[in-house]
Amino acid sequence: MTATLLSDANQRLEKALQYVTIHEDAIERLKFPKASLTVSIPVRMDDGSLRVFQGYRVRYDDSRGPTKGGVRFHPSVTLDEVQSLAFWMTFKCAALSIPFGGAKGGITLNPKELSKFELERLSRGYIDLIADFIGPDIDIPAPDVYTNPMIMGWMMDQYSTIRRQITPAVVTGKPLTMGGSLGRETATAMGAFFTIQTLMPKYDRRPEETTVAVQGFGNAGSVIAELLFRAGYKVVAVSDSQGGVYAPEGLDIPSIRQFKESTRGIKAVYCKGTVCNSIDHEVLTNAELLELDVDILVPAALENQITGENAARIRAPFIFEVANGPITSAADQILEEKGIQVFPDILVNAGGVTVSYFEWVQNRCGYYWSLEEVNQRLKEKMTRETELIWVISHELSCSMRTAAYVHALKRLAEAIEAKGTRDDYTS
């Protein structure tokens, strides 16, 4: 593999292979995506002009079931990035024992520059071009960076129009009225919260004595920040793409979320009703937030935020990856040498795909669960797999990331080897 991101992602696989014995056929199969699709999407803009956007969809591996993965709208989207994300999704689904393979999709654009009408035309045009590549038993898209339930609803509706039948199970993360699941919008953060709550007691860390910094105050980051705040953790810093705020005595996260929803900006505020007043705080960049002296660092933005260049300056003893791939393999080695515990994305942020699986199941059977039932099922699955990976880490004396890949790799190998290996065809 020559692609930079995918090559970097593959190094995690190579490290896990040092701790587990699987057939060479399975190793070879997992080195490459099964299928990649690149499309050009023409969109008639509101001013009458025509723009063409590049879109991608990658199905990495379907040994354990139909592939599953989000669709992101972002200027940095490339085929390399989408392939890497599909790779991570493959291992994430296996690590959580979800009967899906890994996939991912994306369109290269800045969605903030498009009107809602233009976004709808773009979303429907994307589905027009990939309709034969996806399906409830083939590949199921979901929300990701800068996509939301409304966009998923447009995609499901367009697919249903093409197939001439209502097909809610083709997409997850939809509006509730179109077959979405309760708890899906907060699932990534909720799953991360359950993981943190499972692991921190093992280090004798109590919430009220634990400081937290969250990079990325979007769909996942803002929710995990509030969940931790309400559980008693001291959230001292948060940031979005424009920068962040830091207050050593702690931030009022519900107020900051309220302020951002009304202004689209981040400011250290305390709100009472609709009135928000500024509190003392420091303004800092995303890069500065990563290097704060806090107990828990939560990268919840984009990939490659902690690299070989800045890893030595990271001071938080615990890092929970809510974003996909926020730490490079070069940084991993530095952080490990510093004694920093990294809890990997394929475990920590797996709540999203887990509840997407729940939504798919509900769509297929036509029976819908309560929020309490969804969250309880999510808690049970996240807690169980976190404990299993924790045990593997200690039995093999390896990092939690490597343990998670070992855990996933065993399940993937079993599925691939069940279809036959060289040993079955040679005497």
The one catalytic residue among 104, 234, 260, 381: 104
Residues 79 and 87: their CA atoms lie apart, in Å, by 12
Residues 122 and 151: their CA atoms lie apart, in Å, by 10
Catalytic, 174? Answer: no
Q: Is 188 annotated as ligand-binding?
A: yes
Q: Is 68 annotated as ligand-binding?
A: yes
283's tokens:
């303004």
355's tokens:
């509840």
Q: Is 356 annotated as ligand-binding?
A: yes
Q: Is 402 annotated as ligand-binding?
A: no
Residues belonging to the active site: 104
Question: Which residues define the annotated binding site for substrate?
Answer: 68, 92, 356
Question: Which residues define the annotated binding site for NAD(+)?
Answer: 188, 219
